[in-house]
Amino acid sequence: MLAKRDERLCQDHPQGRKRSHFFKSFFMTKLLDDGSSGNYKYANVKRWSKNVPGKDIFALSKIFFPVNIMNQHWTCAAIFMEDKRIQFFDSMHGTGIRYLKGLFQYLKDEHQAKKGCPLPDQEQWKLVCCTDDTPVQNNGNDCGVFTCMFADFLSTDCPLTFSQKHIHQCRERIALSIMNGSAII
């Protein structure tokens, strides 16, 4: 649904907006081989980029990754390509450093595999752990809603202005998006 909205926004603004991509939650599980060794494995996901808009992740604006931590908690990681920043968004404020490092290695491996050379300006990339201003959940069951809202807001460059007190409205927004078949603008 977020991808459909992103496509529509890019069509409406063809000169001023680059596409984003929203990987499925299984991407991170495969990348970090969570079902088996727990080690980073580019080979598990090397073909996944063929499904991104334009088939080139380096031409995108943002890339979003839902992250399932030990089948108990949902978070969101995002790569902001133009800013050279990889950031972790966790409603329980975990650092996410393992995921940030894994995604940075993925970018390096993907560039080498698809472009035939090392990722340029590697030293300029920033890995940003969850920041203090990231919205926080006040219970043990709303992490999925927060994860959806992180991707929803960030994909349209909106500040993360929601909180636990907005959770009912967030759930309604998600339900309306499902009923409409596309995320609400």
**Per-residue model confidence as pLDDT tens digits over 2-13:** 888 888 888 887
Q: Which residues have a catalytic role annotated? A: 73, 90, 143
Model pTM score = 0.94
**Per-residue model confidence as pLDDT tens digits over 94-108:** 999 999 999 999 999
10-residue mean pLDDT profile of the chain (185 residues): values are 86 84 94 82 95 93 95 96 98 96 98 97 98 96 96 95 96 92 79
Q: Are 89 and 78 in contact (CB under 8 A)?
A: yes
For the chain, the distance separating the N- and C-terminal CA atoms, rounded to the nearest angstrom, is 11
What CA–CA distance (Å, rounded) separates 76 from 22? 11
What CA–CA distance (Å, rounded) separates 144 from 86? 20
